[in-house]
Structure 1
Amino acid sequence: MKITQTSLDKLSNILGESDYTVRYERGTFQSGWCLLEAKKMVVLNKFLDTEGRINTLIELIPQLKIDFDKLTHESQKLYEEVLKKTTLESK
Structure 2
Amino acid sequence: MIATTKHSLKKLETLMKELGYAVRYEKGNFTSGYCLVEQRRIAIVNKFYDTEGRVNVLLDILSGYSVPPEGITLTPASEKLFARVRRLLSRQAASEEE
Query: Does the pair score TM above 0.5?
Result: yes
CA contact (8 A) 1:15 1:66 kept: no
1:39 is aligned to 40
- In the comparison of the two structures, how many residue pairs are matched? 91
**Runs (5+) with no aligned partner, structure 2:** none
Given the two structures, how large is their TM-score scaled by the length of structure 2? 0.83
Name which one, 1 or 2, has greater alpha-carbon Rg: 2
Unaligned 5+ segments in structure 1 are none
Three-state SS of the structure 2 residue aligned to 1:48 is coil
Moved over 6 A (4+): none
Partner of 2:6: 5
- Match for 2:35: what amino acid? C
Structure 1 residue 29 displacement after superposition: 1.4
Root-mean-square deviation (Å):
1.7
The answer as to whether partners of 1:59 and 1:86 remain within 8 angstroms in 2 is: no
Does 2:92 match 1:89? Answer: yes
The answer to which of 63-72 and 33-42 deviates more is: 63-72
What residue is the counterpart of 2:69 in the other structure? 67
* Residues 10 and 30 of structure 1, relative CA distance in 2, 3 Å threshold: same
SS of the residue corresponding to residue 39 of structure 1 reads coil
Once the two structures are superposed, residues 13-65 of structure 1 have per-residue CA deviations (whole angstroms, 9 ceiling, x without a partner) of: 11101221000011111110101253111110000000000011112112157
Identity of aligned residues (%): 37
TM-score (norm 1): 0.89
| Structure with greater helix percent | 1
CA contact (8 A) 1:14 1:79 kept: yes
The Cα of 1:7 is off from its aligned counterpart by: 0.4
Q: Please name the residue that 1:21 is paired with.
A: 22
